[in-house]
A and B are shown apart, each in its own frame.
Chain A
Amino acid sequence: MRRFLLLALLFALLGASPALAADRIVVGSKNFEESRLLGEVFAQLLESRTGLEVERRLGLAGTQVCFEALKTGAIDVYPEYTGTGLVSILGEEAEGGPAQTLNRVRSEFLSRWDLWWVAPLGFENSFEVAVPKELAERERLKTISDLARISKRLRGGFGHEFVGREDGLLGLQRVYGLDFASVQPFQHALKYQAAKAREVDAVDVYTTDARLITHNLVVLEDDRGFFPPYEAAALVSGETLRKHPEVGSILGLLAGALDEETMRAFNLRLQEGKEDEAVVARDALRSLGLVKGGERAERETSSSPTLTHYLWDERSALMRRTLEHLGISALALLAGIVVAVPLGLWLERHRGGAEATIRLLGMTQTIPSLALLAFFIPFLGVGTVPAVVALWIYSLFPIVRNTYSGVRDADPRAVEAATALGMTPGQVLREVRLPLAAPVLMAGIRTAAVLTVGTATLAAFIGAGGLGEPIVTGLQLANSAMILSGAIPAALLALLVDGLLGWVERALQPAGLTSSR
């Protein structure tokens, strides 16, 4: 009966999965300010001009996650750049100007995946390489070729994605012969602080990024024309356009509406960390005359609020995220218990393959959490479902291992006597072995629970919400109050779960046993 309820709960959750609802549209974005802002602009525009319910999955972890999510229908639209499409996704060389690049990705994306580049927004946001002004002057650096000359003495600090991209560091190394003494990958927003503190000497930046100025950086000329044009546009799935033709024409209103200068100004407002993307996006749409209401956004946030103020202001969101977090973790853990305990018992009866199976399960623990989370996107889309499945896989090993060893090692002489006096194997298991194994089993569940609650913060990278959401967003916006508003409750939650289950573990200690067992 209990198992049935669990299954029902799991299916209810699957049913609640986003893109299934017919009158709903899911807007995604990557994990840096401009992408979040454009995603929010798309969302608000669609909200104000259609009757569709708009769901936001902003801040997904990088191009690969967004692209997979769009291909599989987990999201309907996200902002993408033509150069990224050309080099990163199609794997082609940069060639020709903006128009040629746009045409190339348009025809390829359409024929290969039925994906549409709608409404080129009118600005380019290229990758560029920048160095601190002081260094540029001292070393007379003007071009990337100049940088390559002395790169052996320098430390590079680049975005995670940039390090691995063909139109990023990989290509730069090949074309310019860049060879840094060290390369440190950074969350985009943190690079600027690292450069300002002179912890790194060269960083990748975006054209529309206002922090170039505020952080005293000088952009080096791409003298070999390495970077392709990166024109921003909405990338939409063909299925969405057929189901909701109005989406294409409404997003089309944004075509050519924004230029680099405007975007830099909007980005700056986000980067100063005082306004969130909803406010800035509304202002952007108003200034374009695309939504009604002339006055500036009513919500002016006070200048850098203290953490306690921030937490108080965000209390209802915090509550919701905590519940989301607990929900994801609890579901994964319960599903883990339902599978892992019987599996542990079965392995104990069939010892032949037990050690090998447990070792194999142990290997799941070594898969980096983000990799595991991202792995399921092609099959399960983004959001809660792949997060629960990934966390569930993490929870299996500690529970299986402890069930197996707990039952196997339960007082062998008592077990043998109970059998010899005529208890059936089932009776021995229920009345002798399981009660004796209970504390060990519970310790396994406790390990799994703490692991799950901790790892669930990463679920925000694939759009599952929870307490990781303010952490991920805060990292992308370099807003420490926001980061802490997720990190502190998440840490407290892990401690609380650990303490609670520790208490249960002690309560399950069978009477008559000294606590040392």
Chain B
Amino acid sequence: MSALEAEGVVKTYPDGTAALAGVSLSVPQGETLALVGESGSGKTTLLRLFNRMVEPSEGEVRVEGRPVSELDPIALRRRIGYVPQDGGLIPHWRVERNVDLVPRLLDWDAERRKVRVREMLELVGLSPDVHAPRYPAELSGGQRQRVALARALAADPPVVLLDEPFGALDALTRLELHRQFVELKKTLGKTLVLVTHDLAEAYRLADRIAVMRGGKILQIGRPEELKEAPADPYVRALLDA
């Protein structure tokens, strides 16, 4: 069964701009899919359909086979991890409280949550003793992204959505995080959807890549498929760049 599906989705904003102009897509369980395109291509809008941060104008979106329109958005969001570009950490909360966010919303018992926060920080390569009591402003950009990842994974969601998660980092930190991401992805076996404008990043991290432009998917396939048979001059141009 597909973890995530979109079928004939159109998204038009009240001011008339069309963010998505008919998109269909299926992401199997455990796959990492990268959505690649320039800004304005509709990749972030597509990503946000799955946790109902965006409602489609037309078409249907399904998570684990069920139409999201039938699900309570709050409950749905607690079951889907989310990592925004600059981490989106809540600035007046310590790292431990940020990581604890979803388990607390789900009413896990206190002991379990405490253990979980430590596990998650270790998982993303941070030291619970050193980093847990810090505030986001006291961390480096890379550390903040790690905390955001730990927060997204804390309640063990089957799906994680990542919106340019490494976009704001310097090249070296980005490479280091890429390496860890690939390892994590293997061990955790989650369904991941990653938005990026960096094709090299998509190649390194994703199982499949969807190239988007003007609210449509131009081509979707494994990295080597795209390389061998670009379906469109734009995809070729992007690959050559």
Contacts and interface: CB of A to CB of B under 8 A. Distances in A.
B188 to A, nearest CB: 18
Size category of the B interface is 20 to 34
A83 B78 CA distance: 80
B105 A435 contact: no
A418 B88 CA distance: 8
B105 A436 contact: no
Given A413-B84, A422-B77, A512 B137 contact: yes
Contacts, number: 74
Contacts of A512: 91-94, 135-138
B86 A413 contact: yes
B79 to A, nearest CB: 8
Interface string B17-39: 00000000000000000000000
User: Of residues A413, A417, A432, A435, which shows the largest number of chain B Cβ atoms within 10 Å of its Cβ?
Assistant: A417
Contacts of B77: 419-422
A513 to B, nearest CB: 6
Given A419-B53, A421-B77, A422-B75, A432 B102 contact: no
Interface string B184-223: 0000000000000000000000000000000000000000
B90 A420 contact: no
B235 interface: no
B82 interface: yes
B143 to A, nearest CB: 14
B62 interface: no
B74 interface: yes
Given A511-B92, A512-B137, A422 B53 contact: no
Contacts of B137: 512-514
B92 A510 contact: yes
B41 interface: no
B126 interface: no
A510 B74 contact: no
Interface string B151-169: 1100000000000000000
Nearest to B92: A510
Contacts of B87: 417
Nearest to A509: B92
Contact of A421 (B82, B93, B94): B82
B105 A411 contact: no
B165 to A, nearest CB: 12
Nearest to A425: B74
Nearest to A420: B82
A424 B152 CA distance: 17
B145 interface: no
Interface centre among B51, B90, B136, B138 (most CB of A within 10 A): B90
Contacts of B88: 413-414, 416-418, 420
Given A417-B84, A512-B137, A513-B137, A422 B78 contact: yes
Contacts of B76: 422
Contacts of A414: 88-91
Nearest to B94: A512
Interface string A483-511: 00000000000000000000000000011
17 contacts: A413-B84, A413-B86, A414-B88, A416-B53, A417-B90, A419-B53, A420-B88, A421-B77, A421-B102, A422-B77, A422-B78, A423-B74, A423-B105, A427-B105, A435-B92, A512-B135, A512-B138
Q: Which 5 A-B pairs have the closest CB atoms?
A: A417-B88, A512-B135, A510-B92, A422-B78, A422-B77
